[in-house]
Amino acid sequence: MRISLASDSLDGIAPILMPEIRKRGHTVIVHGAMADERADWAWCCSRAAEDVASGAADQAVVCCWTGTGASIAANKVPGVRAALCVDAATAAGARRWNDANVLAISLRLTSAPLLEEILDAWFSGSTSSDETDLANIAYLSEIEN
């Protein structure tokens, strides 16, 4: 898969994100502090989300100090369902029940071992085929503004 990656700084786990994603066989498109472009969280994280919405990337991973700003910025892009995940169970649930296509991570809270667990759960996850889950996901597109 093509994964768009954005971080507003190179703090915490930021330096190991690209190698961890590549280790799982994905191609990485970088934004923000990892590239030669504006690194503020709203700008770089929305750019990564725009990659997903346009089809330039299949999914994205966006990061800032808390992960909150990264998820807010990504969720402003139509067609994006970003989930702030602090553990593997949340990442698996976000993929399964929400068909989340952007993973938001806190640079401050996430350790290297926890990052590995989150990425494994995220990339091995798939969307539920349950009618109720699919109806909820479809409704998000209806209410998008």
Residue tagged 């923000």 (tokens): 32
What is the identity of the amino acid at 26?
H
- Residues with catalytic annotation? 64
Phi, psi of 104 (to 5 degrees): -105, 135
Tokens, residue 4: 């768009």
Burial category of 78 from C-beta neighbours within 10 Å (exposed 0-12, middle 13-18, buried 19 and up): exposed
68-75 vs 41-54: helix crossing angle, rounded to 10: 40
